[in-house]
Amino acid sequence: MQPLIAAPITLLLVYRSYTHGSLTIPGIITAAATATIHALHPSPIPFTLLVLFFLLGTSATKVKHEVKATLTLSSTGSSGVHSHSTSNTGHEKRPKEPTKSTAGGQEPRSAIQVLANSGCVSLLCLLHIAIYGLGNTTSAKTTACLGTLPARDLILAGIISNYAAVTADTLSSELGILSSHKPRLITTLREVPPGTNGGVTGAGLFAGLAGAIIIGIVSVIMLPTCSTSQQSWSEFLYTFGQDASQPEGAADLFGLVLAIGSWGALGSVLDSVLGALLQASVVDKRTGKVVEAPNGGRVLVAAKKIGGDEDGTGKPSRILGSGRDILDNNQINFLMAAAMTVGGIWLASLAWNAPLRSL
């Protein structure tokens, strides 16, 4: 990625995160370091997908955030915007009015949350640099057709797989909670409250697929892929736009977009399965709403201060709605992203007959 392009974009994103309170200070520092590592990759794909993921995620978060704030409870007392997170703090309070530091009730995201979504790609970028060096975007090594340089191309496959999955998961979560239909737990199909880990809706699955397809479209336009006429995808799109009667390579192009979109949607489903099995969803008995915490933490069924978590009868007001308290939301996200990244690399190695040892 050209520094003259990446540097100002990174600064703009850092400034936006700071002024909108969307990231904590450690989160901003981590995000800036993550963007820098992405930009060091000679291909523009990692940095572009990082920016696209950030823009899609923050835009989805803002959609009807006032409505989302009423669907779950926050153990910190701030507005309970859906964040797939739980807490280990005290009793719930009535939501406060959103402040600048919690834009629309959304708690600033932490450094751990940044790493949960982009940490795998940062490692892959560093691996690419270790193999090829910083390189140059105009060199033969970065412009050859996809599949001709196995190590480089397997790494790109992993990067695209990661962002297709985390984008699908984010959009599915942020937009699916607004569905007019109650979510169903993916493992049992029983109805559960909005915000339940592992709860899915048709609208959420569709939103996730759409997000992954967007990642796929942007990726194939930028990929050093050659059709049967040895054109790059961008050159093919230009040619196809000029003369749609000669759709040479169209099947490959749209097939790759669909494959990336489907893989990302599968990642969203995997995240739901992991959340349903390995993450506790704690429900407030007084309201029937899921209790969430900022920054992907945990919620204890019995709060530390029992007296502050009673329903007036001397009994705890929380119950375990579903799942097990094994992993928190950040760990679930990272596990899903890692699985889809490794899986994408493996599938690409089979498609290109490129053994993983080529890495």
Would you state the structure tokens that stand for residue 216, as one six-digit string? Answer: 């796929």
The reported pLDDT for the residue numbered 167 is 98
How much of the chain is in helix, strand and coil states, percent to nearest 5?
60, 5, 35
The reported pLDDT for the residue numbered 232 is 52
Closest among 18, 328, 63 to 173, alpha carbons compared: 63
24 phi and psi angles, rounded to 5 deg: -70, 170
4 phi and psi angles, rounded to 5 deg: -65, -20
The reported pLDDT for the residue numbered 150 is 67
The reported pLDDT for the residue numbered 94 is 36
The reported pLDDT for the residue numbered 306 is 43
The reported pLDDT for the residue numbered 249 is 56
The reported pLDDT for the residue numbered 103 is 36
Torsion, CA 304, CA 306, CA 309, CA 313, rounded to 10: 170
The reported pLDDT for the residue numbered 2 is 75
Q: Integer distance in angstroms from the first to the last C-alpha of the chain?
A: 21
Taking only the tens of pLDDT, the chain with its 359 residues reads 677 889 999 999 999 889 988 889 999 999 999 999 999 998 899 999 999 999 999 899 889 988 988 898 876 654 444 444 333 333 333 334 444 434 334 578 899 999 999 999 999 999 988 888 875 443 434 445 665 666 678 999 999 999 999 999 999 999 999 999 999 999 999 999 999 999 999 999 999 999 999 999 999 888 765 544 445 555 555 565 555 554 455 667 788 899 999 999 999 999 999 999 999 999 998 899 999 877 777 877 765 554 455 555 656 778 888 989 999 999 999 999 999 999 999 999 988 888 777 66
Closest among 278, 284, 279, 281 to 90, alpha carbons compared: 284
Closest among 227, 208, 215 to 267, alpha carbons compared: 208
Would you state the structure tokens that stand for residue 346, as one six-digit string? Answer: 């493996």
The reported pLDDT for the residue numbered 140 is 39
The reported pLDDT for the residue numbered 4 is 81
Strands 184-185 and 199-200: antiparallel
Would you state the structure tokens that stand for residue 318, as one six-digit string? Answer: 């929380």
The reported pLDDT for the residue numbered 173 is 93
The reported pLDDT for the residue numbered 241 is 55
